[in-house]
Structure 1
Amino acid sequence: MKQWFTLMNKEFLELARNFKWIWVPLSFILLGVMDPLTTYYMPQILDSVGGLPKGAVIEIPTPSASEVFIMSLGEYQTIGILIITLSAMGMVAGERKSGVAQMILVKPVSYISYLSSKWASTVILMIVSLFFGLLASWYYTGVLFDFIPFGDFMSAFSLYALWIAFVVTIVIFCSSVFIQPGAAGAVSLAIIIIINLIGSTFSHLMQWSPTQLLHYASEVLVLDTLTEDIWFATGITFLLIILLLASAVAVFKSKELAD
């Protein structure tokens, strides 16, 4: 266990050296405040752009606080996932390519400790960043529209944080398979896009899918209730995370021993 915490400290130090503890949270905060601000000031923005007939009146229905907050969640589903992929795709592949991984694994360091410490540090970074980003969105949504109950906010955050942990696991798995960070990132994005497309197309048959966690988070905000399918989806997501991590360790070990 002491070895694992030593590796974790190394990963946190590496994240600090790469300024990820600064730019990733700031990026997530900007994503969080973008929709509340643009939605609230949209009439003024359209008016300042001009090009409308003289005397035209812009009437935009005022969305509810829940709808505005759900729009912020949608930003993390697109730009947020891209940030995660770019940030994490070189976690393993980069060290394999540079030879750092071989130097570490020459010592009595287990493959499980090596990969799990990278996964855990990345998950912590992304979930902390997500929390501050959604907290900023919650605050500005409350100031400009109406405050969502904080309990609903925490429920939605917890469900979406699990999806983010699943995305990180996919990226770490691909980073363990490929030695080129670019290839790991491209394949990760392709996998995430494909499972999102499948999940949205067959959502009526795949209530258990991790891709439904965003839908359930939105449902909590709108309906203020937790359905039974939520527990099934969270359980399946936890299971898939464990299976992906175990597969990452097995593939990474086989490739390192082959080299």
Structure 2
Amino acid sequence: MTQWLILFFKEQKEMLKNYKWIWVPLVFMVLGVMQPVSSYYLPEILEKVGGLPEGAVFEIPVPTAQEVLVSILGQYSQLGILILVLATMGIVSSERSSGSFVMILVKPVSFTSYITAKWASISLFAITSLLLGYLFAAYYTYILMGKFAFIDMLLGVGVYAIWLTFIMTVVLLFSSFLKSIGAIAFLSLGSTMLLSILTGLFQKWLYWSPARLSTHSHSIIITGSGADYFWLSLLVTVAIIAALLLLTINIFKRKELVS
């Protein structure tokens, strides 16, 4: 356990050294707070910008706090995921390219400890960035839009955090056997995007898909409960994360033993 913690804190120190622990949460805060502020002041913005015929009356209803909270997660589903993938895509490949991982594995360090420490590190990084940004945005949503169910909000963002953990696991998988960070980013984003598209097109058959967690998080925030087959989707996602971790460890182990 001591060995694993040393590897884990090494990853945390490395991300802090590269300022990832500073700029990524800040970006999430900015992305999050933009939604309630722009939604609340949209009529004034349109009025200042102009473009409407003289005498025209164009009323835009102010969205509810729950609707704004859901739209914040929508922002994170686009730019937020992109930023996280770009920030973590070299988690293994960069050490393989530089050869520094050899110095670590030459010691009595297991492949399992090496991979799981990296997985825990980037998962914690993603979830913390999400929570800091979302709570900051939720505060402004409360100030501008009014009250909302705080517990439902926490449960919703918690479910969304599991979806982010799934994406981080996919990034780790590709980073474990690819050296090109461009390929890692492309395949990670492409595979999760494809999964989301297929889930949307074939909801009748892919009701268990991990991509459904995003929809479930929205439903929890608005109604207080997940959509149909919520628990099945959650359990399947956790099982797939565990399976992908085992696959990553085996792929990395075979590749390094061969080389």
TM class by shorter chain equals: over 0.9
- Identify the residue that residue 139 of structure 1 maps to in structure 2: 139
Q: Percent identity?
A: 42
Q: CA deviation at 1:56?
A: 2.1
The secondary structure found in structure 2 opposite 1:41 is: helix
Distance 2:70 2:101 in 1: 40
Q: How many residues align?
A: 259
Match of 2:48 in 1: 48
Cα displacement (A) at 1:133:
1.1
Counterpart-to-counterpart distance in 2, 1:203 and 1:33: 31
8 Å contact kept, 2:176–2:251: yes
The CA deviation string for residues 9-40 of structure 1, in whole angstroms up to 9 with x for no partner, is: 11111011011110111111111111111111
Which residue of the partner structure matches residue 237 of structure 1?
A: 237
User: C-alpha distance in 1, partners of 2:205/2:32?
Assistant: 31
Q: In structure 2, what is the equivalent of residue 149 of structure 1?
A: 149
Distance 1:169 1:227 in 2: 24
Letter of the 1:61 counterpart? P
CA distance in structure 2 between the partners assigned to 1:86 and 1:100 by the alignment: 21
Instruction: From the superposition, tell whether residues 18 and 232 of structure 1 become closer, same or farther in structure 2 (CA, over 3 Å).
Output: same
1:69 matched to 2:80? The reply is no
Whole-angstrom distance in 2 between the partners of 1:183 and 1:102: 23
Which amino acid is the alignment partner of residue 109 of structure 1?
Answer: V
In 2, Cα distance between equivalents of 1:254 and 1:225: 43
Q: Aligned-pair RMSD on alpha carbons? A: 1.2
Mean Cα deviation higher: 208-217 or 57-66:
57-66
Contact 1:177–1:184, Cα closer than 8 Å, also in 2: no
Alignment of 1:194-213 (within 5 A): 194-213=194-213
TM-superposed CA distance for 1:223, in Å, is 1.6
State whether structure 2 residue 214 is matched by structure 1 residue 217: no
SS at match of 2:229: helix
Q: Is 1:193 equivalent to 2:193 in the alignment?
A: yes
Query: 8 Å contact 2:173–2:245 — kept in the other structure?
Result: yes
1:204 is paired with a residue whose SS is: coil
Cα contact 2:116–2:245 (8 A) shared by 1:
yes
Displacement of 1:205 = 2.3
Q: 1:227 to 1:201 in 2, by over 3 A?
A: closer
Distance between the aligned counterparts of 1:220 and 1:38, measured in 2?
24
- Specify the code of the residue in structure 1 equivalent to 2:95: E
The answer on whether the counterparts of 2:93 and 2:181 sit within 8 Å (CA) in structure 1 is: yes
1:82 aligns with 2:82: yes
Q: CA deviation at 1:253?
A: 1.1
C-alpha separation in 2, matches of 1:63 and 1:242: 39
CA distance in 2, matches of 1:64, 1:87: 33
C-alpha displacement of 1:228 = 6.0
User: Contact 1:213–1:230 (CA<8 Å) still a contact in 2?
Assistant: yes
In the aligned structure 2, how far is the partner of 1:20 from the partner of 1:62? 35
Q: Deviations over 1:86-128 (max 9, x none)?
A: 0110000111011111221111111111111111011111111
TM superposition score normalised by structure 2:
0.97
Render the CA deviation track for 1:209-238: whole Å, top value 9, x for unaligned: 111111111111222224562111111011
Q: Could you tell me how far apart the structure 2 residues matched to 1:31 and 1:98 are? A: 34
Q: CA deviation at 1:58?
A: 2.5
- Which amino acid in 2 is paired with 1:39? S
Residue 192 of structure 1 and its aligned partner are, at CA, apart by 0.9
Q: How does 1:18-57 map to 2 (within 5 A)?
A: 18-57=18-57
Q: Distance in 2 between matches of 1:226 and 1:195?
A: 20
SS at match of 2:196: helix
Q: Distance in 2 between matches of 1:179 and 1:238?
A: 27
Residue 181 of structure 1 is matched in structure 2 by 181
Aligned partner of 2:251 in structure 1 is 251
Residue 16 of structure 1: aligned partner: 16
